[in-house]
A and B are shown apart, each in its own frame.
Chain A
Amino acid sequence: MTNNPNVLVKISNAGIQKSGKWLVKDVNLEIHRGKIVTIIGPNGSGKSTTAKIVLGLHKKIEGNVQTFTKKISYVPQKVSIDWTLPIRVLDFMVLTEDLKPQEINDALNLTGVDHLISRNLRDLSGGEFQRVLLARAIAKKPELLVLDEPVQGVDFAGEVALYGLIKKISEKLNCGILLISHDLHVVMSATDYVVCLNGHVCCSGTPVDVARDKHYKELFGEKSSQLLSIYEHDHDHVHTADGDIVKDNV
């Protein structure tokens, strides 16, 4: 048991087997209030599975999962809306919790899609849909926010802006965020802790530590590690300017 009131989720030695094969194994992870944990890893490395373990969606798991909050928002990797179901952005926003019109508008405004409020979900582009998913998740002001590839299909400028937004949200709501991503170099500035996954935790630590780790280089190649230098340069530059990471990066 942990007594730290900032811990929202603690998983220890967690793993899950499916027909004799481990999907993920020996994952140790803590999510704290106001901090962002990012999981990176190649396809099939168990990123989404780990997120689902955190959310309690997998029932037969090894190891131990402790959750200390009930205010959870989730952005799944894929949400498909059946044609038979007519549903507007407005209806989707209140899917799991009733919200005031003002709260709905504010959240949509933050992710830049408030003009789409009465559009049908099926008529949105991939990027617009992701922004709506994110808006819905933050509108209910969660304590724990789990984001599975939240910016897929969003253009590069938007991607950087949304990661900046995610960072702001974690500070503003003081909520813990578990972020799944495949592009470390973009999420770095918005991450406190990185877990690099490949069926098991192959390395973890601060973004800079992970990018320098030899396991990370093996997994993603030398090139991805070189991105670090670009990132570090950006980082210095942005901070000397106005402290806003978002605007200068593009």
Chain B
Amino acid sequence: MFDDFLFRALIAGIGIALVTGPLGCFVVWRRLSFFGDTLAHSALLGVLLSVAFDLNISLTIFTVSSLIALLLLRLQKTTNLPSDALLGLLSHSSLAVGLVVLGFLSFIRFDIMGVLFGDILSVNVNDLLSIWIGGAIILLVLWFIWKPLFASTVNYELAEAEGMNPERVNAIFTILLAALIAISIKMVGLLLITGMLIIPTTMARNLSNNPKQMVILSIIGGLLSVFIGLYTSFEINTSSGPTIVVVALILFILSLIGIKKRNYG
């Protein structure tokens, strides 16, 4: 029953869930959900540029998203606009620029739905390689910066006073997010990647009482969403990205029962 493409999709999904779990925790802890969206929106521009100039898709998305992320960090320093306004500005302007560029590329057959929602049918061996190699690098870097990143998440000034250089690890973390978006766009789609980051993590929050436990549970949540979501999308013929996110949502709702029990019973 497992066709070849479904098996590839499964391997891809496992790779992505292993990375979204830990990164998602930091996104939630640092209140960066909207930031994830901004990076994902800027990925459309990356996809289009890669199609137009025949470049490697993951590398192009990574470059564009990283540039947008660094631009944001720069703007936060130099202007007095609040972060959410800056994010809105970057998010929607990069999306709009992407869509305008798309208009110019009418000579290319382009599957915009695939970019927005992900397309498991299109996952090939190269994509698997970029997911697993890219994912391994992301996790390795995260492991190295874990302590300073976590300390500056708890209290920025305390971390800085005690010599942890929060500004640098923040920038590195931002680039890791851009890298995650680059490797997972094809699978999950740019509209839903933030959902993969946030929903299993919030489920994990409901069930955990320390940071490591929350990371592990959000990885498990992500894996379950991928397994059940892919199977379901295959059986009832729905898009893979949305189905995975819906499964994650159902897991989140179930976790609310867990939190009720813990708080009242």
Contact = CB atoms under 8 A, between A and B. Distances in A.
Interface of A: 52, 55-57, 70, 72-74, 76, 79, 81-82, 84-88, 90-92, 95-97, 120, 146
Interface stretch (B1-9, B105-113, B205-213): B205-213
Contacts of B210: 86-88, 90-91
Contacts of A70: 163
Contacts of B147: 96
A225 B116 CA distance: 70
Given A76-B155, A85-B211, 8 more contacts: A55-B157, A55-B161, A56-B161, A57-B161, A79-B154, A85-B153, A95-B150, A96-B163
Contacts of A82: 29, 31
B158 A96 contact: yes
B194 to A, nearest CB: 15
Nearest to A136: B158
Most buried by A among B150, B155, B164, B208: B155
B175 interface: no
Contacts of B177: none
4 A-B pairs closest in CB distance: A74-B161, A55-B161, A96-B162, A85-B29
B224 interface: no
Interface string B87-122: 000000000000000000000000000000000000
Given A85-B29, A87-B154, A96 B211 contact: no
B166 to A, nearest CB: 11
B84 interface: no
A96 B158 CA distance: 9
Interface residues of B, number: 25
B216 interface: no
B11 interface: no
A90 B211 CA distance: 11
B158 A79 contact: yes
Contacts of A76: 155, 157-158, 161
Contacts of A57: 157, 160-161
Interface string B192-213: 0000000000100100111101
Interface in B138-181: 147, 150-151, 153-155, 157-164
Contacts of B154: 79, 81, 85, 87, 92, 95
A45 B125 CA distance: 64
Contact of A52 (B31, B157, B211): B157
Given A56-B161, A79-B158, A85-B29, A120 B209 contact: yes
Contact of B158 (A56, A74, A90, A91): A74
Contact of B211 (A56, A86, A146): A86
B16 interface: no
